[in-house]
Structure 1
Amino acid sequence: MNTFSRANIVQAQRIRAIGLTVTNCVDAERLVARHRSLNFYTQALGFELVSDITVSGQNYSELEGVAGANIRIVTLQLGDELIELREYLNIHSQPIPSDSQSNDLWFQHLAIVVSDMDRAYSHLRSFPIESISAAPQTIPPDNEASGGVRAFKFKDPDGHDLELIWFPPDKGQDKWHQNRDSLFLGIDHSAIAVSNTEQSLHFYRDLLGMQIDSRSLNWRATQARMDNLPGAEVQITGLRPAQGGVGIELLDYLVPPKGRPIPSDWKSCDIATVQVQIIVNNIEQIVDKLRQHGVQLVSPKIVQFADSSQPYQQGCLVKDPDGHTILLLTQ
C-alpha cells in the first residue's frame, strides 16, 4: 500500500480517554461523597489529577444528548492513559443495577496493568471495594493467548467494573515490561460484553478501522472464579486502533447465556454509561459512513468546539450495536 492510500484510510487513530459517569451529590451533608471517586482513583489506584473543569452550554448538551447538561469533568492520568470522571451536576443519574453481572450487555471494565499482582491486590484491599473475583486468578498455561496472565475484577465506589491485570514476560504490550518502578502502570484496554462477536467486529473493525490484536477462549474454574459466574465460558477478541495504545476487548459470553441488554432509555448522565473516546482522522467521512450503515447517533450532528482550551475540536457520540457509547473526536 502506498503512502497516499494509507493516509486516506478513514479510521480510528487512538483512544484518547475513557469517560466514567459518576454520582452527583448535591446536598451539603454529602459534600465529602462528591470527591469519593477522585479519592478512590488517586489513592487506591495511583492516578494523578490532570484537570478539574465544569462545562455547559448547547455544544455539550448536543454532544451528549442530554438537554441542559452541566458537567464537572475531572481528568486523571495513569502512565500514558487518561480517564475522565464525569459528574452531571444538575441532572439525576440512574445508578448501575445492583445485581449486574459480567454477562449483562452493559458490562464494561477498565483493565489496569500492575507490576506486582500480589502487592497491588493487598494495597487495594485496604479500600472499601466490592470484589467480583474471589481473588486474583491465573489463566492456565494451556490457554495459548492468555496463559500466565493474572487478573482480579472488582467495582469502584459507583459500581463501575474494573480489573487489575498482570502480564508475564511473553504476554502483553512491550510497554508493560519496560518500566516496573510503579505498582500501577496504566490502562491496557476497556472490555465490553457483546451479544455477537461478528456484529461487533463489523462496527469496530470494518467501520472504525480497528485491527484484531488477539483472540482467545477463556473458560473452566479460573474464569468462573474471575467473573463470579458458574461455568463461565467467554470468547474474547482484542482490537487496537491504528496507533496502538489502549484497546477494546469484545467479551462474547457463551456460558452462561447472554445477559440483559442495555436499556434504550439510558443516557450519558446515567452511571452505567462508559464512553470510549476515539480520535479519528476524518470525522465527517466516518460519521457519514456510520449513518449509511444504520449506526445510532446520539449527537444530532458533529459538534464544533471553538474554545482552544478544550482537548478536542469536533465530536460526535454514537452507539455500537449493543448500545455501548463511543465518542468520536478530532483534535
Structure 2
Amino acid sequence: MRPRVDAVLGLGRTVADLGRTEAFYRDGLGFRRLGPIERIPVPLLEALDLPDASGECLRMGLGEQTIAFLAFDAPGRHGPVDAGADETGFQHAAIVVTDMARAYAQIQRMAPTPISQGGPRVLPASSGGVMAWKIRDPDGHPLELLAFPHGGAGSPWAGATELFAGIDHSAIVVTDVDAAIAFFRDGLGLELGTRGLNRGPEQAALDGLADPVVDVIALAPTRAKTPHVELLHYRAPPPPRASSARNRFTTRFHCLVNDLPGLLARLSEAYPVILSRDGRMAGLAGPDGHGLLLIQAGDD
C-alpha cells in the first residue's frame, strides 16, 4: 500500500493559558475535556524540534474531532494575533453549527474578537450557500462558525443535532496553489475535492477584507473526510506581509499515517523532517511553512 495520510485526527494549537483556553472552547463552543492536563510528551516535543522545552497539554473534543492545546513553561514569541485572512499566518478551524443564531449568541458571551464585519454572512449559492462567521480565540487563533444550508443534506453533517457539531476543516492560506495541491495530494496522499472561486461583498464581509478573490480547494484523506484540509489562495488583495514559519507553526494538523517511514522517505527529499527518537512521530512544514504532525497508525 502506498504510504499516505489516512486521517486528519485533529489540530494542535499553542496557547498561553490552558485555563483561559478551556473556558473559551468549553463555554463558548461546546468542546469537552478529553482527560486531565498532562505534561507534553517527549516524542511530541522532539517532533516539534523543541527537545529541550517543557509544558502542559490539554486535549479537547467536539464531536469526533479533537484539538490538542499546548502551553509551554517558557513561552516563545507569539505569532501576530492580527494576521489578516489573506496572510499565510492565518489558519482557521471551521466549526459546524446547526443553528447560527443560537451559536452566535452563545459565543458572544465569551467576547471573541471578530474578524468578519457585521456578523454571520450567507455566501452565494456559487460558494456553497453556507452561513459563516469568523472570530479569534483568546490567543488570536482564527475560528469559523459554519452552518450548512438544508441541514447539511448531502454532507457528512447531515442529521447533526448538537448545536456545535464538530470540526469540518482547517483552512490555510497558500501563495502557490499548484505547489500546495502537489504537496497534499501527491506528497501526503489526500484526495482533491471541490474547487471554487469566492468573491463579492459577502466574502469581503466574512474575511474583513476589501474585494477579496480567493480560490478555495478541499483535500481529504480517503479514510476519513472530516476534518479535511482547505487551501485558500487569494488572488486579491495581495498579502500585505509575510509570516515567519514559526508563527505559521502555532497551529498544526495532526495526521494519522499508514506507513510513516515510507512517507518520510518520499517527503524528506523536498521538505525537512524532524523525527522523534522513537520513530513514531514526525514534524514538518509544508510549502508555505504550515505545520504538520505525522503520527504512525496505532499510536493515535
Q: If the length of structure 1 is used for normalisation, what is the TM-score?
A: 0.84
Contact 1:20 1:271 in 2 (8 A): no
Per the alignment, residue 321 of structure 1 pairs with 287
Tell me: CA distance 1:18–1:168, structure 2 relative to 1, closer, same or farther (3 Å): same
Per the alignment, residue 271 of structure 2 pairs with 295
Are 1:158 and 2:142 counterparts? Answer: no
Per the alignment, residue 309 of structure 1 pairs with none
| Equivalences for residues 85-164 of structure 1 within 5 A | 85-89=69-73, 91-134=74-117, 135-141=119-125, 143=126, 146-164=127-145
Per the alignment, residue 228 of structure 1 pairs with 208
Deviation at 1:96, TM superposition (A): 2.5
Are 1:14 and 2:14 counterparts? Answer: no
Are 1:39 and 2:39 counterparts? Answer: no
Deviation at 1:295, TM superposition (A): 1.0
Contact 2:196 2:217 in 1 (8 A): yes
Deviations 1:20-47 (A, max 9, x none): 10015xxxxxxxxx41001100110000
Tell me: CA distance 1:199–1:173, structure 2 relative to 1, closer, same or farther (3 Å): farther
Contact 2:14 2:69 in 1 (8 A): yes
Tell me: CA distance 1:183–1:131, structure 2 relative to 1, closer, same or farther (3 Å): same
Query: What is the distance in 1 between the residues matched to 2:136 and 2:153?
Result: 23
Tell me: CA distance 1:55–1:96, structure 2 relative to 1, closer, same or farther (3 Å): closer
Unaligned runs of 5+ residues in structure 2 are none
Query: What is the distance in 1 between the residues matched to 2:248 and 2:174?
Result: 19
Per the alignment, residue 29 of structure 1 pairs with none
Query: What is the distance in 1 between the residues matched to 2:271 and 2:265?
Result: 10
2:237 to 241, 256, 260: 256
Query: What is the distance in 2 between the residues matched to 1:255 and 1:220?
Result: 12
Contact 1:93 1:271 in 2 (8 A): no
Unaligned runs of 5+ residues in structure 1 are 1-7, 25-33, 306-313
Deviations 1:238-281 (A, max 9, x none): 111111221000000011013433314x2xxx696111010011
2:253 to 252, 276, 291: 276
Equivalent residue of 2:24, what SS?
helix
Segments of 4+ moved more than 4 angstroms: 170-173
Equivalent residue of 2:219, what SS?
strand
Residue range with higher mean Cα deviation, 229-238 or 120-129 = 120-129
Deviations 1:273-307 (A, max 9, x none): 11101001100010010012x1122x1x35427xx
Tell me: CA distance 1:9–1:46, structure 2 relative to 1, closer, same or farther (3 Å): same
Per the alignment, residue 53 of structure 1 pairs with 38
| Higher Cα radius of gyration | 1
How many matched pairs?
294
RMSD: 1.8
Tell me: CA distance 1:233–1:179, structure 2 relative to 1, closer, same or farther (3 Å): same
Q: Identity over the aligned pairs, expressed in percent? A: 31
2:174 to 194, 197, 214: 194
Equivalent residue of 2:25, what SS?
helix
